[in-house]
Amino acid sequence: MSTKKYLLSLALLMAASAVSAENPLVQTCYTTDPAPMVSGDRLYLYTGHDEDGADFFWMQEWRVYSTDDMVNWTDHGSPLAIEDFAWGDDRAWAPQTIERNGKFYFYVPLHSKLTGAMAIGVAVGDTPTGPFKDALGKPLADGNWAYIDPTVFIDDDGQAYLYWGNPEIYYVKLNDDMISFEGEVQKMEMTVEGFGKGKMVEMEPGKDYRTTYTEGPWIMKRNGKYYMIYAAGGIPEHIAYSVSDTPTGPWKYMGVIMPQSDGTNSFTNHPAVMDYKGKSYFFYHTGNLPGGGGFARSVAAEPFEYNADRTFPTILPTKEGAPAVGTLNPRTRVEAETMAWSEGVSSEQNDKTGVYVSDIHNGDYIKIANADFGKGGMKKFGASVASALRGGVIEVRLDSQDGPVLAELKVPGTGGWENWKYIETPVASDATGVHDIYLVFKGRKGPKLFNFDYWQFK
């Protein structure tokens, strides 16, 4: 055996088998207000998008990501934005999407041109990633500044409920069409017994304490109990929850799930809980990307187990996140925007190509976790790339940025940033078993090198 093959084999044997996600889950842009939904065998994650350099919640669009292993997330871009609602003009804040009868209903808050306040809208699509279209041409509920952060669920009897609100909770019983409701908007009774003791209401001295509930409700049902999880405590926020025997209360305050801590680096938080492939996950957001903070937030997730008495444990933010619940097949076409971690790159989209990786410079990289090479036998590595300049190189490495080189693909100029060309190169060394893949980008220092659509081994 040659020295090169011996060193590669040794590296493969030493590669770690346990793989976890890394928080935040998305590094190509700032993401906020997570809302997971399971459809088929994938978990879809709907988020807001904080703009770079924002000094307030100036948010223009919603984004969608998905996974089938909890470590590699595919960027599906933005299927819905302010411009899709003729009656809205600002503040694309926290969304949630739900599936019913083969349709996907996307509930959003927006600043309304009609009343000059916040309102709740709904769009509908045929797939989890859209396209989505405003279902009504007007708000579903247009009211006041408290009309933000919708959360939706369908009870066991088929009745759907929509909740929203800051600093109180509003709700309606949705009709079967999911885009209308009968009667008036109802306001939840907010008691200390139901939502905990908050801060004194300064404008009304002598009155009782207001509740700790602030905003960002998330409704769910488990073992016959209804759980309302929410951002609490004012600014800075922590995550707390209340429980009821009915979907509309009365509620019993249960305590804190995620304490406010330096680990979030954000004065807001926003909860969501979802079971997927037999595991439970808690979603939230932090300011933990470079340049992050209260107006530059990023979605994260933690695995957890309920306590024996069905209560939530205390959940703290971590860098490690959730362990893998599946592997990725490198023999199939893999979108370049599917990644477990990245450094330096961004994503863009258009109607022809869809989403692709852009802003690639020398030294940037993409990590793909838990790729299963099986018994090996890889002969070629190929990628779809585009460059208006001189291109660069994709180094395919195993298990680290400096790991063994599996292949080296030279990317030429293709005549334009969206003039795509599929290029293949022989695999220099074979790999077997499960490994992380690092796609390391090299080229001239300074300029953008190329765009990157997809890759695969053959």
Catalytic residue ranges:
33, 215
Task: Name beta bridge partners: 108.
Answer: 121
Query: Would you call 203 exposed, middle or buried from its count of C-beta atoms within 10 A (0-12, 13-18, 19+)?
Result: exposed
Residue 101 CB burial class (10 angstroms; 0-12, 13-18, ≥19): exposed
Euclidean distance between CA atoms 206 and 196, whole angstroms? 18
The answer to whether residues 312 and 254 touch, using CB atoms and an 8 Å cutoff, is yes
Q: Which amino acid is at 98?
A: I
User: β-strand 186-187 against 170-174: which pairing, if any?
Assistant: antiparallel
Tokens at 162, concatenated: 């929509």
Tell me the β-bridge partners of 309: none
42's tokens:
């994938």
Residue 352: count of CB within 10 angstroms of its CB? 7
Residue 236, number of CB atoms within 10 A of its CB: 14
| Residue 240, CA distances (Å) to 213, 260, 409, 418 in order | 8, 10, 50, 47
Q: Hey, which bits of 298-391 come out as E strands?
A: 298-304, 334-335, 338-339, 341-343, 346-350, 354-358, 365-372, 380-386
Task: Classify residue 454 as exposed, middle or buried by CB count within 10 Å of its CB (0-12, 13-18, 19+).
Answer: buried
- DSSP class of residue 140 equals S
CA 118 to CA 356: how far, in whole Å?
A: 33
d(CA 81, CA 186): 28
Quick one: which of 142, 34, 42 has its CA closest to 96?
34
Count other Cβ atoms within 10 Å, centred on residue 152: 22
